[in-house]
Structure 1
Amino acid sequence: MTGNGGGYWRRLVRRLTSDVTELDADDLSRRVEAVGACRAVDCRSGEEATVLGRLRSVEHCPRDAVATLEAELYDGTEGVTLVWLGRRRIPGIEPGRTIKARGRIAVRDGRKVLYNPYYELQTTNS
């Protein structure tokens, strides 16, 4: 088969032979591009960035005198830790939710971090 037919069969075989995690990562990566966000793997320390991904974990972390709420956002390429200082809970920030977050990328303990990011909760269709 020539033209688009070959691409269709290639995608179909990939979907049938790939695991769910890999397919989910591909879906997240496509959504990142569709909304004009940066892929986490391309974000650099000190740069302003908008990222979109699914929250893998959310936890309250009491550190010294300041409580923090930390969430791991995964966009299909890499994770970014979102940190809200002085917060114990934020309605809607829960594992499994897809959000778009914006802020300046920092690096803490070798991991990319956004401190007190602006964020938008995404609907399942967006």
Structure 2
Amino acid sequence: MKFKSLLFIAFCFVSNSSLASSSTLECVYKKYADPEGVHVTKNEFILRYLIDPDADKVYVSGNNGSNEVVKVPGNDRVSFLEVTGTGNVMVTTITNTMDTVHSRNTVVFGGDLIPSQFYGKCTAK
């Protein structure tokens, strides 16, 4: 388990695509914040990141389907940027200790902003 986490971190922080096979990172979010405050999720919110080092691409899979995301490496963390078909921006940041935050900047028809931020933990699969 720890080896898989280290393998994931090596891929995310080094842009070299020398890793041999795809892997999945599963992030489980149990708390979230919105304009009303911080809450515990009623149902687990799970995002899965499929990492394809051969193609140097990452895909997110969640409750609304799958999309390619942009990998933004940093010191002791990696972030994934997703822009939905409607132009909403979602950002997930994962630290080297596998803590994670997922931020949604959703604007609905009519221009109303529905911000939310989810807090959780990731594991390499």
Q: Considering fraction of residues, name the structure with more strand.
A: 2
TM-score under structure 2 length normalisation: 0.27
Q: Considering fraction of residues, name the structure with more helix.
A: 1
